[in-house]
Chain A
Amino acid sequence: MPVIEARALTKTYGDVHAVDGIDFDVASGESFGLLGPNGAGKSTTMRMIGGTSLRTSGTLLVNGLDPETHGPEVRANLGVVPQTDNLDTELRARDNLIMYGRYFGLPYSYLRPKADELLAFAQLTEKAGEKVDNLSGGMKRRLTIARALVNEPTVLLLDEPTTGLDPQARHILWDRLFRLKEAGVTLIVTTHFMDEAEQLCDRLIVMDHGKIVAEGSPADLIRRFSTREVLELRFGSERNAELVDDLRHYADSLEPLPDRLLLYTEDGEAALARVRADGHTPMTTLVRRSSLEDVFLRLTGRSLID
């Protein structure tokens, strides 16, 4: 039985179709991503999974139960990390974990040692007695993730887990999440960061305007919707647009961005050599592997972070 089973899942706010009839399954132990720009419907989907947003139509089962009719049963199996930290700033770090556990009906005799283990996992042992307001952004994020684990959920919902964090803090978090995945926890992650999706997700759906535009593993999506390599050329912001037609035949496809041209090709270096041989003189060049960013650009014609 899949952990999550969504069919024609829809959420409308007035005339806006936030989630527009999507279907997906998530298997137990899988690390599943919802990728898309802001407003694609990722967070709304997450909230419907927890039963904290009522769906407009469609069906949704979490561990075989409808979150709208079996909210307590569904949520007792979920750990939720919301997009913005909503820790209790009046309490100390450790008390935040205990308090949250209390809301699941867990006894203090379980919660006290559990809180200490979670603080160790989140590398916050020294901050146990610190007020939440005195923690850095990365620490607050780790505390929120620790809090989501207090009821030992089998499914962890992470809504943009590393948005707003510096690179080091992101890597610490990814490491913690990877450990949880290895321990068998099902991860469901929304993100608009390609590197995050590639790091964390076994499989993902790409969402845009409330719809699923593609589904697969990161490698699979890159293979299907992009080429092996990408050649990035910059000619200066005025000239980029002028050269689109001239350069198109050097690659399988070309995506113009305001600041650069992306040439999709199996062999970036070879394409670059041909571009140069024909007398074009880009200001800067870069050959790189294709990423999910390119998949998204290809699927929607827009870059992910505007």
Chain B
Amino acid sequence: MTDPRNPSTRPGSDPAGGSAGVDLADSNTLAYSGRALPASIQASRVRSLGWWYQAEWRLIGMRAYWTSILGSALLTPILYVIAMGIGLGTLVDKASGGVDGVPYLTFVAPGLLVATVVMSAANETMFPVMDGFKWGKLYFARATTAASPTQVALGELLAVAIRMAAEAAVFWLVLVLLGAVNPTTSVLMIPVTALAGVAFGAPLMAYSATVEQEGYQFSMVQRFIVMPMFLFAGTFYPLSAMPGYLQWIGWISPMWHGTQLARAVSFGLPLAGWEVAVHLAFLGALAALGAWLAVRNFTRRLQR
């Protein structure tokens, strides 16, 4: 293919005419300045790095609500530590001498971190995704650039993962400063938490990409998936404290698998090697399946 960007093939490049406003010479330069990368280079850059260009601007777009992101990351752990550590924790520790052999605050802190971040992941993958298809239609704008629908989906997911990791890092730092966790291996809670966030966020993103109506489904997701998971998936007490017929809620929730791993790295909750492997595999599989479905659903909707 010949490159149509050769200026000699473009007519009208004589800088003679011009009226008010931008003169003709300028609109020629505007159409072809010679400074832009050739189309073939643009395409090859996007083919290899398009997923990152997509993520980059999703993250920059989060500037619009960065105060609420930071506020939630800073304030949530402070409130939880006061309520759970000083309030509830005192009661629990007095009555039973802690949970799993550690003070209640130590036990509950990793769970709160994972739960908070997973819920943020849910928020980032419901209405914002629907907005991209339905209200603002920004995904359609992105799909008209050199990017592919796959890159739009993966870039979106990557941006959510990065946000989750950042939120987890701030949350973790506050927990350390408040003395709720030891600043040693507990730093591994950050990637574990981000993984749990993606394991929940990716399938939810795939689902959100199929929502055509006004999104009332999302309040159902909040009420019947996110809330039960928060309450029953071992965040506030070990899953074993629940009757056997309710424990499955934990087994199928990314929150529980993430929390178990977070407890292992923060205060050394004893997990067998196979347990670690199962938790990681469950989260990894859910993230991968969700990503695959998200790519499929984004592609379908962007190429209709």
A interface, CB within 8 angstroms of B: 1, 3, 28-29, 50-54, 63-65, 70-73, 75-78, 80, 82, 84, 86-91, 95, 99-100, 102-107, 110, 114, 117-118, 120-121, 123, 149, 151-154, 179-180, 182-185
Contact = CB atoms under 8 A, between A and B. Distances in A.
Contact of B61 (A63, A73, A88, A110): A88
Contacts of B32: 152, 183-184
Interface stretch (B10-18, B91-99, B215-223): B10-18
Contact of A121 (B27, B42, B47): B27
A118 to B, nearest CB: 7
Contacts of A86: 136-138, 140-141
Contacts of B36: 106, 110, 114, 151-152
A57 to B, nearest CB: 15
Contact of A76 (B12, B40, B138, B302): B40
B39 interface: yes
Contacts of B148: 71-72
B42 A99 contact: no
A286 to B, nearest CB: 33
Contacts of B67: none
B42 A76 contact: yes
B302 A182 contact: no
A84 B137 CA distance: 9
Main secondary structure of the interface of A (DSSP, over half): loop
A65 B146 CA distance: 14
A114 B144 contact: no
B5 to A, nearest CB: 7
B47 A82 contact: no
Given A183-B31, A184-B9, 7 more contacts: A72-B42, A73-B39, A73-B146, A84-B137, A110-B35, A110-B37, A149-B31
A102 B57 contact: yes
Contacts of A64: 1
25 contacts: A29-B10, A52-B144, A64-B1, A65-B1, A75-B43, A76-B43, A88-B138, A91-B61, A99-B57, A104-B146, A105-B42, A105-B46, A105-B53, A105-B146, A106-B42, A114-B35, A117-B33, A118-B30, A120-B26, A121-B22, A152-B32, A182-B17, A182-B27, A183-B27, A184-B13
Given A78-B144, A102-B56, A114-B36, A123 B27 contact: no
Given A105-B50, A118-B30, A184-B12, A151 B60 contact: no
B54 A103 contact: yes
B43 A73 contact: yes
A183 B33 contact: no
A103 B50 contact: yes
B143 A183 contact: no
A99 B137 contact: no
Contacts of A179: 22, 24, 27
A105 B142 CA distance: 12
A249 to B, nearest CB: 49
A184 B100 CA distance: 74
Contact of B45 (A3, A105, A120): A105
Contacts of A185: 31
B31 A184 contact: yes
Contact of A72 (B21, B31, B50, B54): B50
B74 to A, nearest CB: 22
Interface centre among B1, B39, B49 (most CB of A within 10 A): B39
B273 interface: no
B303 to A, nearest CB: 5
B272 interface: no
B33 A114 contact: yes
A107 B148 CA distance: 19
A53 B22 contact: no
A95 B60 CA distance: 10
B132 to A, nearest CB: 9
A89 B136 contact: yes
Nearest to A64: B1
B147 interface: yes
Nearest to A29: B11
Contacts of B13: 183-184
Contacts of B49: 105
B146 to A, nearest CB: 4
B4 interface: yes
Contacts of B9: 28, 184
A89 to B, nearest CB: 6
Contact of B5 (A78, A88, A104, A154): A154
Contacts of B50: 72, 103, 105
A52 B143 contact: yes
Contacts of B44: 72
A196 B279 CA distance: 62
A53 B303 contact: yes
Contacts of B30: 117-118, 121, 149, 180, 183
